[in-house]
Structure formats: structure tokens, C-alpha cells
Amino acid sequence: MINTTQIDLTETTFDRDRVLADYRIAYQSRQASLIGRREVLSGKAKFGIFGDGKEIAQVAMAKVFRHGDFRAGYYRDQTLMFVLDMATIHEFFAQLYAHADVLADPNSAGRQMNAHFATRLLNEDGMWKSQVDMYNTSADLSPTGSQMPRLIGLAYASRLYRQLDNLKEFTEFSNDGDEVAFGTIGNASCAEGLFWEA
């Protein structure tokens, strides 16, 4: 995938190549949704949920998503994952078919439904990865609206890293609380108690 996130936010003109790259990835994501739905309806995959219709908003969100930021989202965030290179189309379909190899489906090794994304926060040796040097996503859950309490928790953690001096030494987890916690949610989830409690 083409990473289109590294831009100067003070620009006021459009770059032709950037616009075409954005269109290309939105189009590829839409095609992945259509093909995935066809695979489910033809019985080749057992269940599928897809992110068609959310492409442009997610391309725009990716423009401001920085290393160290966190996502607490839902199953329609595939375009964001593609733009940020946090998922490939191959991995997306491996998850659709519940591929049990972690190399094929690094999100869950076939243990979650498709379009349930997650960041691996540990190296193979069990040591923490530097979360400030990568894009991060909390593991998606199936109950709709369940990303909202996690979103509040992620944002609160950043606040604590900003305020508490004894957390300043943990620079692999936070850039002095400067990270942003992004959340995405669908219309129906806004009626859930988890949303209102958050």
C-alpha cells in the first residue's frame, strides 16, 4: 500500500500524485469490501463485515494520525488500516478466512472476526515495542460500542503521562502525553450504554 500520511498540514494546494494515491487506496479498499462480501455470499467465507462507504473519511483521518497515536475503532476501519500500512489486503483476506498463521493474520492469527484489528505491542522476545515509534490500535471487540470506554482510557493514560512526573521515564510508551486517541463508531453503536457511559 502507498502511505499517504506524511504531509505538511499547512499546505493549501493539492498535489496531483497525493490525490491519485488517496483515490487509489480508497478504490482498493472499496474493491476489497465488494470482493469480501461476494466471498461470504457465495459461501467461501463464513462471515464478513466490511468498511465500504467510510473510505474518504478514513483517508482524511490518516493524514493527521501520527506515530504514537492510538486508535480505538470498529470493524469498518479497514481503509485507515490500509493507508497507515497497519494491514494489507492480503492480511485482510487472511482474517476473513480465519487463517491461523500469525504471519498471515498478524491481528489475531484467525482468532477474531474479520476487520478486527490490533497492534502487537511485544516483540518476539517478549519485550515491549516502542509505541511512540509506531501507529497503535487497541484490539477491536465484537460488542458494538465497546471501543468507547477503551478510547477514554487511552486518552486518560496520555493525560496521566503529561501530568505525573514518575511516568516521564517511560518514553517508549508515551511522548510526554502528546499522543492522540482516535475513535470511530457507527450510528447504531451510539445507542449503546457503553457509548453513553464513556
Asked if the structure places residue 29 within a domain, the reply is: yes
Asked if the structure places residue 147 within a domain, the reply is: yes
- Tell whether the model's pLDDT for residue 4 goes beyond 80: no
Q: Give pLDDT tens digits for 82-122.
A: 999 999 999 999 999 999 999 999 999 989 889 999 999 99
Mean pLDDT over residues 17-31, rounded? 97
Asked if the structure places residue 9 within a domain, the reply is: no
Give the closest residue to 86 by CA, choosing from 182, 3, 147, 150.
3
Rounded to two decimals, what is the model's pTM? Answer: 0.89
- Tell whether the model's pLDDT for residue 9 goes beyond 90: no
Asked if the structure places residue 10 within a domain, the reply is: no
Asked if the structure places residue 11 within a domain, the reply is: no
DSSP tag of 140? P
Per the CB < 8 A criterion, the answer to whether 79 and 55 are in contact is yes
pLDDT of amino acid 13 = 77
pLDDT of amino acid 99 = 94
What's the CATH code of the domain at 85? 3.40.50.970
The range of the structural domain enclosing residue 52 comes to 16-197
State the pLDDT confidence band at 5, using cuts at 50, 70 and 90: low
17-33 residues labelled b (16+ CB within 10 A) or e (exposed): eeeebbeebbebbbebb
Asked if the structure places residue 117 within a domain, the reply is: yes
Provide the 3-class DSSP secondary structure of residue 136. Answer: strand
Mean pLDDT over residues 13-31, rounded? 94
Asked if the structure places residue 73 within a domain, the reply is: yes
Asked if the structure places residue 132 within a domain, the reply is: yes
State the pLDDT confidence band at 150, using cuts at 50, 70 and 90: very high
Mean pLDDT over residues 161-185, rounded? 96
How many structural domains comprise the chain? 1
- Tell whether the model's pLDDT for residue 62 goes beyond 90: yes
pLDDT of amino acid 172 = 97
State the pLDDT confidence band at 15, using cuts at 50, 70 and 90: confident
Per the CB < 8 A criterion, the answer to whether 132 and 179 are in contact is yes
